[in-house]
Amino acid sequence: MKTAKTATQNACKLCNPLGACLAFRGIEECVPFLHGSQGCATYIRRYLISHFKEPVDIASSNFNEDTAVFGGSHNLKLGLKNVTQQYRPKVIGLATTCLSETIGDDVDMILKEYVRLFDEGEPLPNGKPLPIMIHASTPSYQGSHIDGFHAALRATVEKLAENGAKKNLLNLFPNMVSPADMRYLKEVLKDFSVPYVLLPDYSETLDGGPWAEYHRIPRGGTPVNAIRETGMAAGSIEFASTLAADKSPAHHLEENFGVPRYTMAMPIGIQQSDAFFGLLEKLSETPLPEKYGDERRRLVDAYADGHKYIFGKTAIVYGEEDLVIAMTAFLAEIGITPVLCASGGKSGQLRKRLLELVPDIEEKGGKIRDGVDFVDIEDEAKALNPDLLIGNSKGYTLSRKNNIPFIRIGFPIHDRFGGQRLHHLGYRGTQELFDRIVNTVIEQRQSSSPVGYTYM
Amino acid sequence: MPLSYDKPLTMKKEIVMESIRNFTDPSVIKEELVKLYPPKVAKKRGKAIVVNDPEEIPQVQANVRTVPGIISQRGCSYAGCKGVVLGPTRDIVNITHGPIGCSFYSWLTRRNQTRPESPEHENYMPYCFSTDMQEDHVVFGGEKKLKQAIQEAYDLFHPKAIAIFSTCPVGLIGDDVHAVAREMREKLGDCNVFGFSCEGYRGVSQSAGHHIANNGVFKHMVGRDDTVKDGKYKLNLLGEYNIGGDAFEIERLLDKCGITLVASFSGNSTVGAIENSHMADLNVIMCHRSINYMGDMMETKFGIPWMKVNFVGAESSAKSLRKIAEYFEDDELKARVEEVIAGEMPQVNAVIEEIRPRTEGKTAMLFVGGSRAHHYQDLFTELGMTTLAAGYEFAHRDDYEGRHVLPTIKIDADNKNIEELKVERDPEKYTERKSEAEIEAMKANGLEMNGYEGMMKQMEKKTFVVDDISHYESEKLIEHFKPDIFCAGIKEKYVVQKMGVPLKQLHSYDYGGPYTGFIGAVNFYRDIDRMVNNPVWKKIKAPWQTAPADGELEAEYVSQ
């Protein structure tokens, strides 16, 4: 199969506003709002819902042909008012789309005009204070979903973070991880007795229980008051390898409020988890709780027990750049050779950051490619003939066609149950990943064996 | 042959009446639904919420724009055009012209199935092509990139056809996809290239996209191949998109009856079949909303009458087959159809006898699609279940009230923006299949030729009909009626299930199906039994079990 060089075939990225909606879902009492056609909200809801299996309401300014020609000001104001009336949110997380960005709507100005209406005496919706409106610029013709995710968070701290006396408080920007990962991070910080702000936190909003009472907006999320305090924190940790400083919320806090910023890869694998837990020990001046020492020991033990199954295997890993970097480092650590590290994203940092963590990757034949689609990955797969394919559900077709055992991680997971509960981070998340990888290899051997061993 | 279950499949009046009698007077509920809205909105929504009377069908407001900030389940024009109508034809390369999201989100996988003649035959459905528009294309125009993308697709696959779909920015930056299509069609010579102006902001919902797609398929595909295919009874199946393999089951039945399917619009279809479709003698329509334009246009241009059918439900499938046989006025076909029905029904009867004691008397609500909320009521009736409330997401008044209201539908800015093709009788290709007198005679005999009665005629008195239902309204209806099952899509699924009511997806079928024909009916009975009689629901306390009936709900709503 030849590859189209101009068109994208089977994209390995989603669009910018999706990431923003996901991040806004992790703020308490926040309703995400897309300034554009209703189709954007519908498509993105469908995608998020089928991964998380939770309600995801996203409002829209429902552009029509007139709006597209004359501007979206009227629709935006009307939409904001209606969302406020129905949901009584504390926050409206407003993200733009390719449509509103193409026509050049000045959203900040429209928001100012909207607020002025009430200053000048228009009755407030519901008689309540106006919600805080956070505006992130997320045109889909720039970057991909991960850029929208960070843009929403950067806009959030720019809007909310306040200066003040420094507090015993740690900010954690975990990147686009699963609700299970977020719950784990909260457990870790609690066990270190560190007061923290985790932003975003959709561990409950996107993985919650049945409703014993009606909720307009699901419970959970990072509270607004906590976000205000991020400017007073003693430090920010961000799991972000390729995020440019001018797009990083932690960088904003450092520049404007002097909150030291600790940037590190996502803690997957022992080396990266050690770095994370080591930093926590240092910042909290608390030794590693025994529980995590135990987790680490069990993981090392598992590495030793499982190495015979997986050592020397080759893998293709794809997804968001930061996830690919962390996964690659982990794979290298357990003796799997990553033969292709691929992303649909294109920050320009993928190779550089990957070489920092795994300096010999290219010497061992590992390729690093950004801005690719699944046809590019498949072309490589045919030549590389890897033992494993690791990434989100969209790789299934190529795994099936080329008979490559497949391990699902990240987002979106549409063809398996429990994608929102996949755990990737820390010693415990790594343990789960390691077990799944080993079992995938064993299963492959077992089912392809003519004997049918019951001991492996 | 009627079903043998000791109670007939058509539901006993007493059961229905009892199901409905148990509830508060519906007009009181309706009042309560809208009284919490600001007056302007209450007035607007009130027109979309009606209490049914099949004898005197009330008017329903439909196909009217959703108010900004009201979270609707509706999609966009692009979704209706590319995703619904064009997507399921396996040998067209569909290129989305725009930024990456729209193409990614409409990447077809499970929803539409297809069966290439052999593994070597073309099937581009697993692919998703996009021009992946970047900022400089928005600034300087994307036509050049689009042409390159078309050329690349051609070089890679040499497809019979390439279709281009415009997303929101395309219309605004002034890219002329139709001119590009023309230029590339001429340049490539043996590839039919055509474009669709289906920008997401056009029209009220995906329904606008259906219409745009119908126009494009009619203009660029239908009528290009006059080959006369074998077959005594030739028809096209319109508005069947093969979700969950539905078209395969219908194909099986048609085949068994000796009926030739020329083309399907568009589940399990090919470019060649659609190009030859004007050689059929009858169009049968499943999804009236998405494809009725095609039925009318083909009638005018080629003289092919159309007939509404419903292959959802065992009784409805039998009825639809009989209607087709009636149309062809052929005793041999009629006998064959009866034979097929008699052969299929025993398996249906066996399952219904087992399941019906567990489902009888239960209640359902359906808020889905432009035809599905109607079709699936037949299956629930067969299970002895009552539909208490139903509505569509993107339908028009004729889908609710019947096509006789068409002349009275108000033309507004939104439907004016969608082109109405001027269609005329084709001087060479028009052949009268049935004379006007014959059609009238068939109508007099009860065959619904070139017509559709709509959903409400079939629904009981005092049931609810709600168009473009909002989250708030569905919660309120659930609270009042506590249905045993709610049918909608993935966007509603987890909200409804949080309240302890199972939700059956009728867009994707929860990845089950097929639900058409006799095999499909059996699948559906089993799936519904598994859902409504599942012990997990006992673990979930519904809000009305813990909260006072009207306590927590603060439902001030919209203001305009």
Exposed, middle or buried: residue A118 (CB in 10 Å: 0-12, 13-18, 19+)? Answer: middle
- Beta bridge partners, B96, equal B130, B165
> Among all residues of chain B, which has the CA nearest to that of A58?
B71
- Predicted local distance difference test score (pLDDT) of residue B556: 31
- Predicted local distance difference test score (pLDDT) of residue B7: 47
Q: Worst-scoring range by mean pLDDT, A2-6, A168-172, A277-281, A365-369?
A: A2-6
Q: Is the pLDDT of residue B181 over 60?
A: yes
- Predicted local distance difference test score (pLDDT) of residue A123: 84
Question: What is the DSSP code string of A68-90?
Answer: HHH-SHHHHHHHHHHHHHHH--S
- Contact residues, chain A, for B104 at CB < 8 Å: 11, 13-15
Are B484 and B500 in contact by the 8 Å Cβ rule? The answer is: no
Of chain A, the percentage scoring pLDDT greater than 90 comes to: 90
State how far residue A15 is from chain B, nearest Cα, in angstroms. Answer: 5
Q: Is the pLDDT of residue B21 over 70?
A: no
Place of tokens 């415009």: B166
Q: Is the pLDDT of residue B388 over 90?
A: yes
* Stated length of chain B: 560
pLDDT band for position A264 (50/70/90)? Answer: very high
The 3 state secondary structure assigned to B14-63 is HHHHHHHHCCCCHHHHHHHHHHCCCHHHHHHHHCCEEECCCCCCCCCCCC
Between residues A165 and A456, the one the model is more confident about:
A165
* Beta strands per DSSP E along B225-346: 233-240, 259-266, 282-285, 306-308
Domain at A16-207+217-264, CATH from 3.40.50.410, 3.40.50.1980, 3.30.56.10, 3.40.50.300: 3.40.50.1980
* Distance, CA of A188 to CA of A182 (rounded, Å): 10
Measured between CB atoms, which of B38, B79, B494 is closest to A55?
B494
Enter the tokens of residue A134.
Answer: 């956070």
* Distance, CA of B176 to CA of A98 (rounded, Å): 18
* Distance, CA of A12 to CA of B88 (rounded, Å): 22
- Predicted local distance difference test score (pLDDT) of residue B6: 47
How many CA atoms lie less than 13 Å away from B5 in the CB half-sphere? 24
Q: What is the pLDDT of residues A282-332, one digit of tens each?
A: 999 999 999 999 999 999 999 999 999 999 999 999 999 999 999 999 999
* Distance, CA of B83 to CA of B37 (rounded, Å): 35
- Predicted local distance difference test score (pLDDT) of residue B27: 82
* Distance, CA of B197 to CA of A354 (rounded, Å): 43
Q: Does B357 touch chain A (CB under 8 A)?
A: no
CB–CB contact A99 B169 (8 Å): yes
Are B102 and B435 in contact by the 8 Å Cβ rule? The answer is: no
Average pLDDT over residues B100-112: 84
Question: By C-alpha distance, which of B449, B478, B49, B172 is closest to A141?
Answer: B172
Q: Does B76 touch chain A (CB under 8 A)?
A: yes
Which of B37, B65, B70 is the best residue to mutate to test the A interface, defined by the most A CB atoms within 10 Å of its own CB? B70
For helices A270-284 and A426-448, the axis angle rounded to 10 degrees is 170
Enter the tokens of residue A240.
Answer: 């972000």
Q: Is the pLDDT of residue B555 over 50?
A: no
* Distance, CA of A147 to CA of A149 (rounded, Å): 5
CB–CB contact B68 A76 (8 Å): yes
For helices B143-157 and B177-188, the axis angle rounded to 10 degrees is 40
Average pLDDT over residues A259-275: 98
Residue B513's alpha-carbon distances to B269, B312, B416, in angstroms, are 19, 11, 37
pLDDT band for position B324 (50/70/90)? Answer: very high
Spatial strand order of the sheet with B192-196 comes to A8-9, B129-130, B92-97, B161-166, B192-196
Which of A12, A52, A86, A376 is the best residue to mutate to test the B interface, defined by the most B CB atoms within 10 Å of its own CB? A86
- Quick count: other Cβ atoms within 10 Å of Cβ B547? 17
3-state secondary structure of A249: helix
CA dihedral B187, B193, B194, B198 (to 10 degrees): -110
Q: What is the pTM of this model?
A: 0.94
- Quick count: other Cβ atoms within 10 Å of Cβ B59? 12
- Predicted local distance difference test score (pLDDT) of residue B25: 79
3-state secondary structure of A456: coil
Q: Is the pLDDT of residue B10 over 60?
A: no
Residue B446's alpha-carbon distances to A210, B322, B333, in angstroms, are 49, 12, 19
* Distance, CA of B117 to CA of B141 (rounded, Å): 40
Average pLDDT over residues B473-502: 92
Enter the tokens of residue A114.
Answer: 């909207």
**Which residues, including other chains, have CB under 8 Å from residue A267's CB and lie 6 or more apart?**
A239, A273, A275, A276, A277, A326, A425, A426
Which of B44, B45, B76 is the best residue to mutate to test the A interface, defined by the most A CB atoms within 10 Å of its own CB? B76
Are B387 and B374 in contact by the 8 Å Cβ rule? The answer is: no
* Distance, CA of A36 to CA of A15 (rounded, Å): 14
- Predicted local distance difference test score (pLDDT) of residue B472: 80
3-state secondary structure of A446: helix
First to last CA, chain B: 55
Spatial strand order of the sheet with B282-285 comes to B259-266, B233-240, B282-285, B306-308
CB–CB contact B68 A18 (8 Å): no
CB–CB contact A41 B71 (8 Å): yes
Catalytic machinery residues of B: 76, 79, 110, 210
- Predicted local distance difference test score (pLDDT) of residue A4: 53
ipTM of the complex: 0.94
CB–CB contact A6 B77 (8 Å): no
* Beta strands per DSSP E along B372-512: 386-391, 464-466, 485-488, 503-505
State how far residue A344 is from chain B, nearest Cα, in angstroms. Answer: 11
pLDDT band for position A124 (50/70/90)? Answer: confident
Average pLDDT over residues A401-421: 96
- Predicted local distance difference test score (pLDDT) of residue B14: 63
Average pLDDT, chain A: 95
A16-207+217-264 and A290-448 have identical folds: yes
- Contact residues, chain B, for A46 at CB < 8 Å: 105, 489-491
* Distance, CA of B206 to CA of B79 (rounded, Å): 6
| CB-defined contacts A:B, below 8 A | 245
Measured between CB atoms, which of B156, B173, B200 is closest to A102?
B173
* Distance, CA of A147 to CA of B11 (rounded, Å): 55
Place of tokens 């300014």: A61
* Distance, CA of B491 to CA of A46 (rounded, Å): 6
State how far residue B88 is from chain A, nearest Cα, in angstroms. Answer: 17
Are B96 and B162 in contact by the 8 Å Cβ rule? The answer is: no
* Distance, CA of A293 to CA of A427 (rounded, Å): 9
The top-scoring range by mean pLDDT among B182-186, B479-483, B541-545 is: B182-186
* Distance, CA of A441 to CA of A297 (rounded, Å): 23
- Contact residues, chain B, for A417 at CB < 8 Å: none
State how far residue A58 is from chain B, nearest Cα, in angstroms. Answer: 7
Q: Is the pLDDT of residue B12 over 80?
A: no
Q: Is the pLDDT of residue B557 over 50?
A: no
Q: Worst-scoring range by mean pLDDT, A1-5, A99-103, A183-187, B424-428?
A: A1-5
Question: By C-alpha distance, which of A294, A265, A268 is closest to A191?
Answer: A294
Kindly indicate whether the domain formed by A290-448 is annotated with CATH number 3.30.230.10.
Answer: no
CB within 8 Å of chain A, chain B residues 175-204:
199-202
* Distance, CA of B394 to CA of B402 (rounded, Å): 15
* Distance, CA of B179 to CA of B197 (rounded, Å): 12
Of chain B, the percentage scoring pLDDT greater than 70 comes to: 92
- Contact residues, chain A, for B105 at CB < 8 Å: 14, 43-44, 46-47
CB–CB contact A98 B99 (8 Å): yes
Average pLDDT over residues A436-455: 92
State how far residue B59 is from chain A, nearest Cα, in angstroms. Answer: 25
Enter the tokens of residue B157.
Answer: 């696959």
Enter the tokens of residue A172.
Answer: 């954690």
- Contact residues, chain A, for B36 at CB < 8 Å: none
Measured between CB atoms, which of B172, B471, B489 is closest to A68?
B172
For helices A179-191 and A270-284, the axis angle rounded to 10 degrees is 40
Question: By C-alpha distance, which of A12, A18, A16, A86 is closest to A247?
Answer: A16
Give the H or E element holding residue A43. Answer: helix A38-52
Average pLDDT, chain B: 91
Query: Any idea what DSSP says for residue A411?
Result: S
Measured between CB atoms, which of B78, B100, B133 is closest to A13?
B100
Map out the domains of chain B with their CATH numbers.
77-220 (3.40.50.1980)
Domain ranges of chain A: 16-207+217-264, 290-448
- Contact residues, chain B, for A345 at CB < 8 Å: none
> Among all residues of chain B, which has the CA nearest to that of A52?
B494
CB–CB contact A4 B152 (8 Å): yes
- Contact residues, chain A, for B71 at CB < 8 Å: 41, 57-60
Which amino acid would we find at residue B306? Answer: W
**Which residues, including other chains, have CB under 8 Å from residue A290's CB and lie 6 or more apart?**
none
**Chain-centre distance of CA B432, in angstroms?**
29
Which amino acid would we find at residue A390? Answer: I
